[in-house]
Chains A and B, each alone.
Chain A
Amino acid sequence: MSNATPSTWRRPPVLLKNPLWRRAFYLGAIVYLALALQSVEVNWMRVYDGLERGWRFVEGFLVPDFTSRWTDIRAGLIESLTMTVTSTVAGILISVPIGIGAARNLAPAPVYLACRAIITLSRSFQEVIIAILLVAMFGFGPFAGFLTLAFATIGFLSKLLAEDIEACDRNQIEAIRATGAGWWQVVNYAVQPQVMPRLVGLSLYRLDINFRESAVIGIVGAGGIGATLNTAIDRYEYDSAGAILIIIIAIVLAVEYSSSHIRRWVQ
C-alpha cells in the first residue's frame, strides 16, 4: 500500500504563497498597528471633563424638551423636509439620463466617458465639503442645502443605476432589438422593466440618506433641522437637542419602514 489515497488535506494559501513573505506581512501589520496606537495622544483630564458634559447630554436626551423651542424646531423640520424631497426629486430627474449614459451596454463611448466623469466628480466630494463650498457661494440657508443634496444624489443614483443597467439580462435586450425596435424602444421595453424596482428602491434609500445628511449639512450653515440642532447645542440646551435627535430618529425609522414595504410591492 505504498501509494494509498491521502487522507489529509489543507487549503493552499490564496494570496501570499511564500511562508516567509506571509510571516513578514503579518509581523509588519502588527508593528504598524502598535506604532499607530502609540501616536494617538489622549488627554485624560479632558476626557473626564467631556464625560461629565456627555452625561448632561444623555440626561437631556432622557428628558427631552419639545415645547420651549418648538417654533424653531418646527421651522427647521419643515425646511429640512422640503430640502430633502426637492433635492431627491431633482436628483432623480438628472440621475436617470446620466445613469443610462453611463451604462456601457447602451451608450456609445464618448457619452459613456462623459457621464462617468460627472459621476466621479460628484462622488469624489463628501456632502459637508460641497455644502461649505455652496454656502460660501450662495449664502446661508436651505438653497445651498438643496443644491448640495441634489449634487450628491446624482453621483449615488447614476452610478448604481448604471451598474444595474449593465447587469441586465442581455437576452431580453437582444430579443427586443431583434424585433426591429429603435434605441428608445429598447430602453423602454427591455431595460426599464428590469431596472425599475431597483431604481424605486434606490430612490427611497436616497430620500432617507438625504434627510439624514440635511441634519449634518445644516451644521455648516446649509439650513434645516441641522441648523436648529447646532444652535441648541451651542446654547447648552441639551434637552431641546435631545428632542431634535429623537425627531430625526423617528423620521428616519418611518422612511425606512415604509420604503421596505414599497420595495416589496414594486418587485
Chain B
Amino acid sequence: MTQLDFYTLLPVMTLTIWACVLLLVDLFILSERRGLTAILAVVGLLVTMGVSISQMGREATGFNQMIVLDGFSNFLNLLLLLTGLLGIAVAYGYNRRMGIERGEYYPIMLFSLAGMMLMAQASHLIMIFIALELLSIPLYVLAAFAYPRPESEEAGLKYFLLGSFSSGFVLYGIAMTFGATGSLAIPGIVAAIADGTANTSLLLIGAALILVGFGFKVAAAPFHMWTPDVYQGAPTSVTAFMAAGAKAAGFAALLRVFVVAFPTLSDQLTPIISVLAALTMILGNVIAIAQTDIKRMLAYSSIAQAGYMLMAFVAYGNPAVQAVSVASALFYMVAYTITSFGAWGVVIALEKAEGKGLAISDYAGMGKKYPFLAACMTVFMLSLTGLPPTLGLIGKLYLFRAAVEGGFITLAVIGVVTSLLSAFYYLRVVVNMYMKTGDPEVARETWLDFTIGATALLTVVLSVVPAGLFAWASQALFIALK
C-alpha cells in the first residue's frame, strides 16, 4: 500500500468519508434545519470535484492495478459529480414540498455516487461488482424514499428484486470469465486471451452474461421492463439522479470491460449488441408515443437514449473507430445528463403532492403563464429529439458518424428514423405548452429554477461550441495496462 494507491482512489475515498461523516452529522442537525445537510453534501461534492480536477491529465494505477486513474475515469468522475450537484439542486426544494425531507437522502446519494465513480475507475471484475452493488443498493433505498406512499415503495421493491436479479447475471458472467481466463483482473484477462490459454466459448458466455447484467442497469431493451415503473414510482428527484447517474456508470463499466478486455470477442458480440441497440431505440421511441404521463414518457425516452448510446458501443472491437466511438458515447452522456436533468427539473416544478400535475395535458398553458420554464422545456424537448440548436443534435451527429464509420449504416438509419418518430411525442409537450389553454400551477424554488436555467443555457451554448467538449472526450482514453 503506497501513497500512489490512495492518490488513485482519492476522489472516491473523499466522497465516501464525507458521506460517512455527513450521516453522523445529520443525526445532530435539528429537523427544522435539514437544509444544512444538503449544503454540507454540496460542499463534499465540490471538494471531490476539486480533487478530480487536480487529477486531470494524470495516469496511474493503484491497489495492484485494481483501480485505475486515466482520462476516461477522470472524465466520468467529473460528469458524475456534476450529476450529484444537479441531483441535490433539484431535490432540495422538492423533498421539502413533498414532505420527504429526511436527512438520510444526501448521504445515501453520496454513497451511490461513490459507487458510480468507483465503477468508472475499476479495472478488476470484483471491483466492478462491488461498485455495482455500492451504486445500486442506495438507489433501491432512494427509490422507496417517499414511504409510506405505496407507489414509491412498490418502485423500490421492484427495483430491488430485478436489480439483484441482474447483479446475479453480472456475477455469473464474472465467474464464467474467471473460469475461462483464470484471472479477474482486466490485464490478466487480456494476457490470457493473448496467450491463447483462454477458453473462448466459456469467455463468450461470460461476456454475454455481463452484457445482460449491465444492459439492465442502463435500461436497454429487452432488459428495460423495470424502467417505466421504477421511474414513475420513485420520487422525481431520485428519478432524475438515477436516470443520468446509473446510466453513465453502467456505460462506463461496459465500455471499459468490453473495449479493454473483450475486443477479440467482437465478431460474436457485435451482432448481438447491434440488435440490442436497434431494439432499444425502436421499442423506447414507439412505446413513448402512447404515454400520457410525463414521467413514464421520459422513462421510455431514457430507454431510447440508451439505445443511441449503445450504437456507439457496437463497433467497439474495431480499433480504427474505437477511439471516436468511445468519445462520442462520452459526449452523448454529457448531453443526455444535462438535458435530462433539465427536463426532470421542469417535471419537478410542476409536480404536486399525491402524484398530481404529471399528465402531459397538465402542461397546457405553460407558455403564457410561465414563459421562462416553457422556453427551457422546449429546449430540452428539442435536445432529446435531436433538433438544432441543442446539444442533443450534436451528440447524435457524433454518434451517427461513429456508427457509419464503423460500417453500421443500417443502425444509423434506424437511429435517424426513430429520432424522427420521437419528435412526435417530444413536440407534443411543446404543443401542449404553447397551443393549448390551461392554468398550470408551478412551484418556484430558487435552486430548481437555477438548475433548469443553467442546464437550458448549457444545452444551447455547448451546441454552438461543442468542439472543446468533444476534444476533451477524445482525450478521455483508457490507460494501457500491462
Chain B binds chain A: no
